[in-house]
Amino acid sequence: MQNKHHSQRGSPYRSSGKNGQRRPAPPNIQRRRPNSNRPNGRQSGHNNGHNNDNGDLLFYIIIGLIAAIFISLVIIFSIVSTRISYRKPTDDTSGQPQITNGDDSTTTSDSSDTLPEDTTQAPKPKSTILQKTPDMGEEYIDRIVFLGDSTTNGMKRYQVLPGGRDTTQVWTPDGGTMTINESAKMKIVYPETGEEIYIHEAAARKKSDILVITLGHNFYSKVTDKEKIELYFKAEYKKLIGSIKEASPDTKIILQSIFPIVTSVYKHSKTISNEVINERNSWILDVAEEMNLYYLDTASYFKDENGDMIEKYTNGDGCHFNADGYRRELEYIRTHALPD
C-alpha cells in the first residue's frame, strides 16, 4: 500500500476517483508578472526628480532675463541723464550763482562751459610777443583803444590819456568790472555817446586802428579740473576776439598780460595769487599765438625780485595802478610797438 501511494504522488497522472482511471493533472498556474510598462514606486520617484530639475532650470532662466532687462534699463537711463546734464543752457541768467571778483564787485557767472569754435583767421605775425622798439611817442598811443576791467578803467580816473576823464579811448562797463567769462556778452559805455552797447557793436562803430585788451584777472568757472578750466578760459577769450574781428576785421588786436599783485597787501591774494596770474598769462599768450595776434608782456615790467608787483606803482590796494603805474604802462606800450 505504501508503495502504491508513493507511485501516485510522483506520477503526472492522478485518479479521477472513478473506476480507478487516471487523468493528467492540470498544469500549474503561474503567478502573473508585473507589467513592465507600469511605473512602480521607484520609477515614479526618478521621473519626479527630472521634472523638478526642469522646473529649476526654467526659474533661473526667467531670473536671468529679468536681471538683464533691469541692467539694460539702468545703462539707458544713465546715458540719457548724462546727455541731458551736458545740454547747453539758455542765455537766461536768472538763478545763476553770484560771484565776487578780485575788485570786490559782484557779477553773475555764465554757467555754460560750451567751447565755441574758432573760425577767425589772420596773417601770422613774425613774433607773437612784442619786442623792444624805439619810443613811438604819443602819436602811437593816440591810435589805441583800451578795452578791459577795473585795471583799465583807472586810466580815466588818473587822466593819463587825451581827454582826461572824458577820454574816448577807454572801453569798460559802467561799474568798471569785467570778467573774461562775461566779456563777449557784456556791455561797455561807448564814450562818444555815453550809451551802453555790446563790445562788438562798439568795434563796428569805432573801427579803431589798434585795440589793447587787458582781461583775465576776474574769472570764474564751475569746473574744478585744471585742464578744463584752461580750455574754458581760452574759449571765452576766443569768443570775444572772434566777435570783434567779425565786426572790425582791420583792427589790430593786442592781448596784454594781467598785472601782478602785491601779495602782502592784496586781500584776495589767496584766490588770485601771482602764481595763478602767471598761469593765466601763459593761457593768454597761447590764445594770441593760436589766433595770430600780438601779446604785450607788460607784467614783466612791474615785477620785483620776488615776482610781486612793485608796490610804489599801486594805489594802495596791492592790485590797481596809481598815476605813476599807468604812465609806466603807457611807456612800455610805446616802446614795444607793433611792427610796421
Q: Residues 277-303: what's their mean pLDDT?
A: 97
Tens digits of residue pLDDT in 219-235: 887 777 888 999 999 99
Quote the percentage of the chain above a pLDDT of 90.
55
- 242's enclosing H/E stretch is helix 226-247
* Cβ–Cβ < 8 Å for 294, 333: no
Tens digits of residue pLDDT in 56-68: 778 888 888 888 8
Pairing of strands 144-148, 170-171: parallel
How many alpha carbons lie under 13 Å from residue 223 in its C-beta half-sphere?
A: 15
* Cβ–Cβ < 8 Å for 260, 307: yes
Question: Residue 253 and residue 237: Cα distance in Å, rounded?
Answer: 12
- The predicted structure's pLDDT at residue 57: 78
Q: At residue 12, does pLDDT exceed 50?
A: no
- The 10 Å Cβ neighbour count of residue 5 is 8
If you count them, how many residues does the chain have? 340
Question: Residue 86 and residue 184: Cα distance in Å, rounded?
Answer: 21
Q: Is 11 helix (H, G, I), strand (E, B) or coil?
A: coil
Q: Residues 240-248: what's their mean pLDDT?
A: 97
- The predicted structure's pLDDT at residue 330: 98
Give residue limits of the domains in the chain.
134-334
Query: What sign for the dihedral angle of Cα 226, 227, 231, 232?
Result: negative
pLDDT band at 51 (very low <50, low <70, confident <90, very high): low
pLDDT band at 251 (very low <50, low <70, confident <90, very high): very high
CATH domain 134-334 topology? Rossmann fold (3.40.50)
Question: Residue 253 and residue 140: Cα distance in Å, rounded?
Answer: 14
- The predicted structure's pLDDT at residue 24: 52
Question: Residue 232 and residue 92: Cα distance in Å, rounded?
Answer: 19
Query: What sign for the dihedral angle of Cα 257, 262, 268, 274?
Result: positive
Q: Residues 233-249: what's their mean pLDDT?
A: 96
- The 10 Å Cβ neighbour count of residue 329 is 26
Q: Among 50-64, 169-183, 226-240, which is the least confidently predicted range?
A: 50-64
Question: Residue 299 and residue 294: Cα distance in Å, rounded?
Answer: 15
